[in-house]
Amino acid sequence: MRVLGIEGTAWCASAALYDSGTGSVVVESDAYEPERGGIHPREAAEHMRSAIPAVVAEILEEADGDVDAVAFSRGPGLGPCLRIVGSAARALAQTLDVPLVGVNHMVAHLEIGRHESGFDAPVCLNASGANAHVLAYRNGRYRVLGETMDTGVGNALDKFTRHVGWSHPGGPKVEEHARAGEYTELPYVVKGMDFSFSGIVSAAKDAYDGGVPVEDVCRGLEETVFAMLAEVSERALSLTGRDELVLGGGVGQNERLRGMLAAMCEQRGAEFHAPEPRFLRDNAGMIAVLGAKMAAAGDTLAVADSAIDSQFRPDEVDVTWRDPEPPARPDGDVVQGAEATVRFEGDRVVKARLPKGYRHGALDARLRRDRTVLEARLTSDARRVGVPTPLVWDVDVPEATLVLQRVGDADLRDALGEARVRDVGRHLAAVHADGFVHGDPTTRNVRLSAVGGDDRTFLIDFGLGYYTDDVEDYAMDCHVFEQSLAGTADDPGPLVAAFEDAYRTAGDPGVLEQLRAIEGRGRYQ
């Protein structure tokens, strides 16, 4: 099958020809480069209007008339650009009398990595200009396990470089200057598998304005932002039990980010793949490759049903072209979690936060120390307000090690049920009422006991928790739990409803109102 793909979600007008028989991908691109500032939608659309016909003509000449389908980026992206691409694709498909395929741009970023690597069921990190998220495939869809709650990672870097006075795009300039810089401490914001960049960018601007050399600020930005992305990727691997990771998105061209992800995967025994650079930045090659898979599965569009969607979420896509994923890798007596290695010794659990080779040494030491202390304190505080938690028997802060009581017989991830999920709702309401959050309440951090009449639901691993009286923080705790349900349950809807019903009864209903606001701010709403 030979598929012509057209891409134009924001800044890059691109067309490509993919031949599934030979595996060859020919790409022609013409990128919009603003003279100053960021991407302006009207100027980007004007660029698309002139550039799309030119790049398509180049590919048609390469195809020599032999095209079996036309695929186009349907969203997400800038509406004016998407409409031009959509119109071009419809006209071309009708002229050639071939099927039309509408491709989700972000899923294409992920699928090109899976296509190149040959991985069966990887966790996928997308790090692009307007977006950042971590996903895994389950039960016919990609599930968003974590995402940015404010701005995309590339846009975050661009905001800093515009402040400095550098031209678009800013990412390569940050990378270049960071090589000559010393690490500068900036805020580190991970909430479960969600993250936020706005506070980091503000701190970076303040540091630069305060006289910190720009090279040092750039180094701090890379070390902080990319360590956050590596950490949430590892959390997703741990939650899903997968041992494969693929990278997508233009920011994935950054050498330091790729190095961090590779080091993280090597340390935990996972495999990592980053596509070649031409498939990381926006390009029509990935649109054509996924378009061929969709067309082969019969996933095509009638012209009347091919409207673009500038807010097209990856978890709205029915994945018609994939086989069921293999089972998760089982755990043994030693469990490698996202941030710690857990060793079971009879009725004890020895939890060691070993150094993370991908993180800068100073940042790593700070996180390991602070999280060990907080886990010990908050585990005890939760127990004090009636939430079942392990007893803390020993704390070694310099070695970032805890000795805890071994609790439960299974993770909630492996034994999901409405009654247990209701327990979690009540437990989170109790800790929130006492003025702190769990920080990472995933289905992997809930343990279940049902032996000898001890029918309890335990919360474990409070290492990302903190004291707060902000309803936003409580709502984020709930958001993290519901995302983990979406990533580990075949039918998460009834479980989410049971969780919220229990929380509403036991806690502050205003937290759930704030949860709706958080969901509305998501990058893919």
Whether residue 396 contacts residue 369, with contact meaning beta carbons closer than 8 Å, is answered with no
Q: Cis omega before residue 169 (within 30°)? A: yes
Instruction: Answer for the pair 1, 68: CB distance below 8 angstroms, yes or no.
Output: yes
User: Is omega for the bond preceding 76 within 30 degrees of 0, making it cis?
Assistant: yes
List the beta bridge partners of residue 425. Answer: none
Neighbours of 419 (CB within 10 A): 10
* Tokens linked to 350: 């020895």
Sheet containing 100-104, strands listed edge to edge, beginning at the edge strand earlier in sequence: 25-31, 12-19, 2-7, 69-75, 100-104
* Cβ pair 67, 26 in contact under 8 A: no
Sign, CA torsion 200/201/206/212:
positive
What is the distance between the alpha carbons of residues 175 and 306, in angstroms, rounded to a whole number? Answer: 39
- Residue 128 and residue 249 in contact, taking contact as beta carbons nearer than 8 Å: yes
What is the rounded CA–CA span in Å between residue 293 and residue 104?
A: 13
Largest CA distance in the chain: 74
3-state secondary structure of 247: strand
Catalytic residue among 440, 461, 473, 477: 440
Q: Tell me whether residue 440 is one of the annotated catalytic residues.
A: yes
Instruction: Say how far apart CA 49 and CA 58 lie, in whole Å.
Output: 16
Active-site residue list: 440
